[in-house]
Amino acid sequence: MRPKKQDSTTQELLEPLLVNIIDMKHPLIQLADKIDWEYFEKEFGSLYHRNDGRPGIPMRMMVGFHYLKYTYNLSDEDVVHGWKENPYWQYFTGEKVFQTKVPINPTSMTRFRNRLKEEDLLKFLEETINTAFRSGYLNKNDVKKVAADTTVQEKNITFPTDIKLFYTMIKYLVKFSKKHEIRLKETHEYSGKKLLMKYSGYVHAKQYKRAGKAVKKMKTKMGKLYRSIERVLPEELRNSDEFQQLKLFYESLWNRSKKSKNKLYSLHSPEVECISKGKSHKRYEFGNKVGFVGTLKKNFILSCKSFHGNPYDGHTLEENLCEAKTLLGSNGTIDTILVDLGYRKHNYRGDAKVHVVPRSMKKFKVNFKRLLKRRSCVEATIGHTKRDNRMDRNYLKGKEGDKANAILAASGHNLRLILAFLLFFLKEFMDNIAKKLANFANEVFLDKKYAKIYV
């Protein structure tokens, strides 16, 4: 059933109003007043049935929880339990009276995210852009020049070695046999664990021949277990989706070699890809590619799109820029795009000019050289989004989780910038008042000692 609107008129006796116990000039309070919360109620209302079922959690609360989670880099549990202690967070999510009980279970946030598709998630990012224009942080000139780049959003998986994957497959097969009450002479689970420990010792001692033999033994154990289950499996279970999925995993692991393509790197996240970005400290990264478009002046993210299949960087530019223009709407237009050498032979055919920044810029004029050097600001934007807004490691499930985590992380980064701007604006405003008070004290011939007290 659709969520009901939060009722601010009913108040129990002696309950403290949030307005009376918080600073209304706090940046988070100013940000809450600038976000158009009714926009989310209109857009997300169709995700719920009109009349049937229990009424949902208020839309502002669910959206506010996700904004707070990705702005302050918290888990679902931390943001829900921290909400009970923080009156500013309560005001941000639409409460009028200070609450002492947790409003939702953290799993409600997971179920809410599962309802949202990519076009719904983009409304989180779109509203941060609109809020930036309302608050005065951005103007039309700021979004004319942008920089584009890609990065890898790593999945929450262990480093995928062959022997680890073989042992994980053994555990999956044992779990399947126990679930369907299939009796096995030997599960190879205990002996496989001992073999895995021996393998780590061999590698540590640089005894690579012994380590290679251990990998072969583990692969043999996996094959024996799979065939012993397949022999006694009834026809109904053999044709079930569950066993067919296990069969695909087994065949992918059994037939893999050094040069095979589309390898399986994780059984619980089969969508993970191996991507090399040429980093000296991290040669391979396991996850998916994410494209960014950000402004040159304010480092504000205008587009954040998740890609699967490890596409060439230049072939992501068209989709990224189309998404940025859609999210901007009537707020402005993009006329200059700066990219690195990874975007040579890109697929963008729009009106904006694309400048591929070369390694040497000696032949360019000073002003144009200064503009090209500004391209590297997108690297800092990506770094902050990873470290401060939960894109460093993705804990959400599947390809939909990859899209959700990237877009919400970009939204959290934008909100951090707006909050910093509102805090600076408030500080500057208070400094101006202090200067005016000091001037007034000097005009009425007060002693400097007392003037300091008045300020």
Of 42-46, 184-188, 212-216, 435-439, minimum mean pLDDT range? 435-439
Q: pLDDT by residue (tens digit) across 48-72?
A: 877 777 788 899 999 999 999 999 9
Query: Pick the residue with more confidence: 438 or 452?
Result: 438
What sign does the CA torsion over 176, 177, 179, 180 have?
Answer: positive
Distance, in Å, from the CA atom of 115 to the CA atom of 125, rounded to the nearest integer, reads 17
**E-only strand ranges, 84-227:** 145-154
Name 355's bridge partners.
338
Residue closest to 146 by CA, chosen among 314, 312, 306, 324: 324
- pLDDT in the model for residue 6: 67
Q: What is the pLDDT of residue 119?
A: 95
pLDDT for position 12: 58
What are the boundaries of each domain within the chain? 10-115, 125-157+273-418, 162-255
Cβ atoms of 293 and 320 closer than 8 Å: yes
Find the angle CA(11)-CA(16)-CA(20) to the nearest 5 degrees.
115
The predicted model scores a pTM of 0.90
* Per-residue confidence (pLDDT) for residue 451, from 0 to 100: 47
How, if at all, do strands 353-356 and 336-339 pair? parallel
SS3 2: coil
Tell me the CATH architecture of domain 125-157+273-418. Answer: 2-Layer Sandwich (3.30)
pLDDT of residue 425: 75
